[in-house]
Structure 1
Amino acid sequence: MTSPDADGITTVTLTFSEGAIGGITEEIPAGFEFASTEHPANQTLVDGNRVHFAVIEEEKIVYSLKATGDIEGNPNEITGTWVDLRSEGNETAVTNNEAPGYGIVSGFLAITCIALLRRRNQ
């Protein structure tokens, strides 16, 4: 994770082991909002202060946060849940973006919601 630049943008990089398949839900701290990602749009869902990513054999996901006018949180306080779909329900709560590691329900929900939203918008 980078420190905020002059425009208040923080870049977060999550890395995964080769062949990872699962889902991540990131909890964005108060005072920040999701800005952008290069991750495929059909594998990303922004929902308030949560960002869900479907991971299908990616080695990394990079996304950016923008500081809002009133920074209450610290980007180092980002937490999340990683669900490894190859390990029969193995889930790990992660802080400070130590990926992989992130909730079976959250990951499954993220993947399902992304698929349903994409179908609805077609």
Structure 2
Amino acid sequence: MKPGPLIISCLLLALLSVPALAAAPERTVTGTLLPGGEFVITLNVSGIAVGGLVETIPEGFLFFSSTHPPGRVSVADRQVSFALLDDERVSYRLRAPTEGDGVITGYWEDFVAGENGTVAPTWLSPTTEPREAAASTIPAAAPGFSVPGTLLALAAILFAWGRSG
């Protein structure tokens, strides 16, 4: 086989590497959102091998606890930070204020894939009527190309180039 078609094939492989859409974390709220009551926030972070997640909780809401390993959680004012190491999910408990509402916002970063993004904001409004909190369903995807696919294509190109010379 001539090196020209092989190089073109390798370049096509590199260009057609399947984009990896990092599974952007999605936040759900469970429990009854009552003034002064506690409820659970859960984020699906299964697409992040090694990375971090920072949640900013609304004014007046208090971080109460987390199921995440203690050495990988940091709380400073209204920011709760989580170190992620192949975790499926992150859960933490908040206490609502006796009055008032607010929005939880979040930011994530995947150090392996080199991707980052925001978690869709979640509105929290405690009422005196018991009801289940609504879950945030808007994912904030950060598209990118898969690292293994790109490395494979690069290796194929270098191999073809080395054989042609």
TM-score normalised by L of structure 2: 0.52
Segments of structure 2 that go 5 or more residues without pairing to the other structure are 1-28, 123-135, 141-165
79, 84, 87: which one aligns with 1:58: 87
Give 1:73 deviation, angstroms. Answer: 2.4
**Alpha-carbon distance in structure 2 between the residues aligned to 1:98 and 1:85:** 24
Cα deviation 1:23-75 (Å, max 9, x = unaligned) = 01100011201000111110000001000000101101110000133x3323x
1:86 corresponds in structure 2 to 112
Residue 72 of structure 1 corresponds to 100
State percent identity of aligned pairs: 33
SS in 2 for 1:42: helix
Residue ranges of structure 1 left out of the alignment (5+ in a row): 102-122
Asked if residue 48 in structure 1 is aligned to residue 61 in structure 2, the reply is no
Classify 1:19/1:27 alpha carbon distance in 2 versus 1 (closer, same or farther; 3 Å): closer
- Other structure's SS at 1:78 match: strand
Deviation at 1:91, TM superposition (A): 1.3
Kept after mapping to 2: 8 A contact 1:23/1:52: yes
Stretch of structure 1 that moved more, 34-43 or 11-20: 11-20
Change beyond 3 A, Cα 1:27–1:99:
farther
Query: Partner of 2:65 in structure 1?
Result: 36
Distance of aligned partners of 1:99 and 1:36 in 2 relative to their CA distance in 1, 3 Å threshold? farther
Post-superposition offset of 1:92: 0.3
- The alignment's C-alpha RMSD in Å is 2.4
TM-score (norm 1): 0.68
Alpha-carbon distance in 1 for matches of 2:45, 2:89: 6
Larger Rg belongs to: 2
